[in-house]
């Protein structure tokens, strides 16, 4: 049996431990003995990016905000989906070591991504980025924790509370899309999105494009009005 190798350790800004582990060519992010993510299963993270960004392929200068870097699969797929030079991809990632690990230990996962000058990393909570940029983003892609139902802390509640959803709507351009990943479906959150004034669609996607497709994740597409193809 091939051994597990601990590559790096750090703590989140909230003080929670994070460990980067390699095993048999795959990488894992763990906290307190629990597996948070893996490079083996990432299909739904890529679907999050493609579903959220595809509408803006004709736009000259789409601005995409990504909440959380993870292992970079959402960012990489967004950059692939929108290859135009004028596109910009803003990633809000509070844990600096997550960015460092992506650019060192995990650099081989997405060749060329960190040389793409369209990518910008902000070391702040995505809530702060949303609140500080009204009428700015073509799409906001959120893949934080296990979905909106898992949050208990004040900061996380603020992200998906009625006030948080209203701020997200304000941060979107007309026709912009708030795209939310979740480990499971939550009808109450879908109602919250509609109450916030979004037009909502729900997609059920395979958790992974590898192995048996017997696990599914949920992606909500919440539109802020109708998108007009004006070149921006």
Q: Are 26 and 40 in contact (CB under 8 A)?
A: yes
Q: What is the pLDDT of residue 231?
A: 43
The domain locations on the chain are 41-223
- The pLDDT assigned to 143 comes to 85
pLDDT at 83: 98
Residue by residue, pLDDT tens for the chain (232 residues) are: 788 899 999 999 989 999 999 999 899 999 988 888 889 878 899 999 999 999 999 999 999 999 999 999 999 999 999 999 999 999 999 999 999 999 999 999 999 999 999 999 999 999 999 999 999 999 999 987 666 755 434 556 678 889 999 999 999 999 999 999 988 888 899 999 999 999 999 999 887 766 555 688 899 999 999 766 654 4
Q: What is the pLDDT of residue 123?
A: 96
Whether domain 41-223 has CATH 3.40.50.2300: the reply is no
What is the separation of C-alpha 92 from the centre of its chain, rounded to a whole number of angstroms? 9
Q: What pLDDT is attached to residue 224?
A: 96
């Amino acid at each position: 049996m091939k051994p597990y190798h601990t590559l790096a350790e750090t703590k989140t800004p909230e003080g929670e431990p994070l460990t980067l582990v390699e095993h048999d060519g795959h990488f894992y992010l763990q906290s307190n003995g629990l597996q948070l993510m893996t490079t083996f299963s990432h299909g739904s993270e890529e679907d999050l990016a493609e579903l959220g960004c595809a509408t803006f392929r004709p736009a000259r200068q789409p601005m995409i905000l990504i909440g959380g870097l993870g292992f970079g699969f959402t960012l990489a797929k967004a950059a692939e989906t929108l290859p135009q030079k004028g596109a910009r991809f803003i990633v809000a990632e509070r844990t600096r070591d997550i960015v460092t690990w992506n650019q060192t230990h995990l650099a081989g996962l997405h060749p060329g991504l960190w040389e793409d000058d369209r990518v910008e990393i902000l070391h702040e909570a995505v809530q702060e980025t949303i609140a500080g940029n009204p009428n700015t983003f073509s799409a906001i892609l959120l893949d934080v924790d296990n979905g909106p139902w898992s949050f208990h802390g004040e900061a996380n509640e603020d992200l998906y509370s009625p006030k948080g959803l209203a701020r997200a709507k304000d941060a979107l351009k007309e026709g912009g899309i708030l795209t939310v990943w979740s480990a499971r479906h939550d009808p109450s959150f879908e109602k919250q999105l509609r109450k916030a004034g979004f037009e909502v669609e729900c997609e059920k996607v395979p958790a992974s494009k590898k192995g048996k497709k017997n696990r599914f994740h949920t992606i909500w597409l919440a539109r802020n009005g109708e998108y007009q193809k004006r070149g921006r």
